[in-house]
Amino acid sequence: MGKTGQPAWAKRILKLLEQAKAKDPDLVRFGAYSHKYKLSPPASEEMIQKFEEQEGIRLPEEYRDFLLFVGNGGAGPYYGLYGVKTQEKELHDSHGSRLYRVQEEPVIYPKMSDEDWNRVADPEGRRKGDEVHPYVGVLPIGSQGCTLMTGIMLAGPYRGQVVYYDEDFCGQPFFVREQGFLKWYERWLREVIAGYNDEEVGFGLNIDGTPSQLMELYEQTEDPEEKIEIIDSFYKFETLPGKQKTYFKKACTQESNMEVRMKLIKMLVRFHVSGMAKELEKLWEYGAYAEAVSIITYEGTWEVKEAWYERVFEILPRLRGEGFRDACHTISAVKDYPNVHAGRLREALNRNDLDRNDRNSLFHCIKELKGKEEVLDYFLDYLSTEEDPTLLIYAVWCTEGVENRQLQELYVRLMDKYRTHENTRFDYKGSQMVLRGGACLGAGRPEGQLTSNLMRQFDYFGLDYPGGFKLLMDEGRWKEWKQQSGFA
């Protein structure tokens, strides 16, 4: 049991947790179905001391007190908080080897320069043979899904501060603005109770505050970067009050910084403030194509999309990043128009300057379009050469429903390649677990998801999902199926 004599702050948190649970009874908020707004009983002082001695660390006081007085893991942002036992597993692999160097001094800090991040993380893999550990001195306290994690700093000037990071080093870490664990946790509870949206922008990535408070912050600053941060923080609201609509519409017309003005236009479009579509021609003339496409995408009216989608096709070769992804979204939205088909995106498919997110968006767009046979030759080559399992997942989606023997042979070759991967084996074990209601765990790792999608192209070999996975992982049955299906 945790410490006796629960302090007032702990009682306040538990009361807020009950209100949050009542606000989201259907568990629709991101990650809520995982933790269900329940906390494990508090940890004992002995349990925490044993963990600290074992790892050679001292937990930050606020986080330590939370474990002692409130709960030993459970309800929290994203998929919830780890308890002490889970942390022990996260810090070591199955052989007991240490995965996290929690005893060392941290090397990350807020708003790192690209140069410093590349130095400590080596995201391009240039330091061949060298171990890379950018998250020394960070304790993982929760998962945000896939390789995205929530951690807490154990030492240095930012000790006790919550940090978001990617175990695959795909981006720089993000330090939340709240000083200390408890303010961060209480903010999450307040935002759940207020009904704020964390799907579009994850919790904690924006500035805390109500619409009125954020507007006041905006009025007080002249710094363009601060203005943009404030504007981006409005996306957590489901609606924008009339006072803020009026204020920011006027601010938009008076703003001289084009980047800030574009952000204002996009935000006002997001909240369906009237009169924004008239900005399109101005933006197009200015060459702000990405911002114009954003308005076309988020304006929400078919009239705007119908009037502009051909120009979106024309400008697509000049777009990258968010603008490119918005264009893909607009094109998929008008998929039923006769002249919108996959063949028109052949040039985009052959571009070499698209990053992973851009290509995923392009593949997702093509998945929605008719005429996928028009680009089949591209995907036959792509599926034969691409090594990134995440990109392969989207590529397989693109070719769903296309009847082609050569394509099916590629599917089988990919299953042969990935069926023995350790992540596929992990997801296979999950597929054989029977959960409440008779369901099973779906694949959650890239190699497992890819294998699952490939099996679906063959209707799981005439079985259900667990049965199909079991056949694939059985060497004899898999070989027999290939022979019977002419793939031997």
73 three-state secondary structure: coil
* pLDDT at 320 (0 to 100): 92
- Cβ-contact 39, 45 below 8 angstroms: no
Is the pLDDT assigned to residue 99 strictly greater than 70? Answer: no
| pLDDT higher than 50, residue 129 | no
Neighbours of 48 (CB within 10 A): 19
Res 125 pLDDT > 50: yes
Lowest mean pLDDT, pick from 177-186, 317-326, 395-404, 428-437: 428-437
**Of 451, 452, 308, 313, nearest in space to 369 by CA:** 313
The pLDDT assigned to 29 comes to 92
Average pLDDT for 56-77: 96
293-311 mean pLDDT = 83
Identity of the amino acid at 442? G
Strands in 138-145's sheet, in edge-to-edge order, are 138-145, 148-153, 162-166, 174-175
Taking 50 as the threshold, does the pLDDT of residue 305 lie above it?
yes
Band the pLDDT of 485: cuts 50, 70, 90: very high
Q: State the pTM of this model.
A: 0.63
Pair type for strands 162-166 and 148-153: antiparallel
Confidence (pLDDT) at 131: 57
Percent composition of the chain: helix, strand, coil (DSSP 3-state, to 5): 55, 5, 40
The mean per-residue pLDDT over the stretch 345-369 comes to 94
| Packing angle, helices 242-254 and 258-270, rounded to 10 | 150
Greatest mean pLDDT range, 4-8, 89-93, 437-441, 458-462: 458-462
Where is pLDDT greater, at 101 or 407?
Answer: 407
What's the one-letter identity of residue 352?
A: N
Rounded to 5°, angle at Cα 9 from 7 and 11: 75
Identify the pLDDT of residue 275: 77
pLDDT at position 283 is 81
Asked if 81 contacts 188 with a C-beta cutoff of 8 angstroms, the reply is: no
Whole-number pLDDT of residue 207: 95
Does residue 276 have a pLDDT over 90?
A: no
Predicted pLDDT at 474: 94
Q: How confident is residue 119, by pLDDT bands cut at 50, 70 and 90?
A: confident
Residue 414: its pLDDT value, please?
A: 96
Mean of pLDDT values over 284-296:
85
- pLDDT bucket at 198, cuts 50 / 70 / 90: confident
Give the model's pLDDT for residue 94. 55
**Structure tokens that stand for 137 in this block:** 């001195």
Taking the mean position of all CA atoms in its chain, how far away is CA 436?
Answer: 27
CA 471/CA 452 separation, integer angstroms: 12
Inform me whether the pLDDT recorded for 435 exceeds 90.
no
pLDDT bucket at 488, cuts 50 / 70 / 90: confident
**pLDDT category of residue 97 using cuts at 50, 70 and 90:** low
Mean pLDDT of 293-306: 80
Instruction: Determine what percent of the chain is predicted with pLDDT higher than 90.
Output: 67
Task: List, for residues 12-46, the tens digit of each pLDDT value.
Answer: 999 999 999 999 999 999 999 999 999 999 999 99
How confident is residue 96, by pLDDT bands cut at 50, 70 and 90?
Answer: low
What average pLDDT is seen over the chain?
Answer: 89
